[in-house]
Each structure stands twice: as C-alpha cells, then as structure tokens.
Amino acid sequence: MTDGIELLNNPTKDEIIDLVRSNSAVVVWITKRGAIVRVPGRDLLLLPSTDANFFNDPDLRRPGVPIVLVHGNSGLAATDPSWDGSDTFTCDNPQCACFGSTEDMDLHVHDSLWKRAANQKKQCRRHTLRRCRKN
C-alpha cells in the first residue's frame, strides 16, 4: 500500500471478489469507458473517461480505507447483490436482441451499468426539456 492506494498486480478474480464482499476497501475498476467505483456501503459510481491518475488525488483518501485499483472488469459481477457466482451470463429474454447468447458475467455487468447510466441521462434530459416547455 502506498499513500492509501493499493495497486493489485495481476489480482485474481477471487481476491477482487473478497475485497468487494468484505467491504474493507474502495474498489475502482478502470475500464475502457471510464472508472466504476465501489465505496463500501454506497451505490456504485460511474465516472466516464476517468483513468487511474484521477485517484492519485490525496483528497480522495480516507484513513484506514485503501483504494484498490483494478485494471479491467475482473470481479465486477460481485457488485451485483443477486449474482449467483456464475462466470457467465446467458440471456433468457426472448424479446432481447441477444436472446440465447452467453457472455462473461463481469463484462455483462460492466455493459449493463454503462447502458443504465446512459438511459438515466437520457431520461433526465427529457424531463428537463418537458419542464422547460411548460414554463
């Protein structure tokens, strides 16, 4: 650990899952779309276009709570409380374009989080536009 930031070199998926389940560290996944941050006891935070350098800021650190940076999405499925421990996900929704396809569970959670965030952003924009038209 260096200045509150612990860098895992080639962490195993099990190590990452243990960190998430133990609530002993802030876990940050640095992914192709940005950072996904899990602070113990809080909702996930998505920071688009954010890289590992952002987390070097000393103002982000709290005594006794390490920030663990993970490059990629390994172990991200553990952030889903309904995750059953499976390594893969198979879509069982016949109305979905990916019905019947199987993919890596961590990648599925990654893509679902970013898709949900984009949809919420669109809904907020629509809500704001409707409100502006009423005024």
Divide the 135 residues of the chain into consecutive groups of 10 and give the mean pLDDT of each group.
56 90 91 94 92 85 82 94 92 88 94 90 56 41
Q: Are the C-beta atoms of 6 and 66 separated by less than 8 Å?
A: yes
Residue 3, C-beta contacts closer than 8 angstroms, at least 6 positions apart: 58, 61
* Sequence ranges of the domains in the chain: 5-134
Q: Could you give the CA distance from residue 127 to residue 118 in angstroms, rounded to a whole number?
A: 14
> Per-residue pLDDT tens for 60-89?
777 777 888 899 999 999 999 889 999 998
What per-residue confidence (pLDDT) applies to 3? Answer: 53
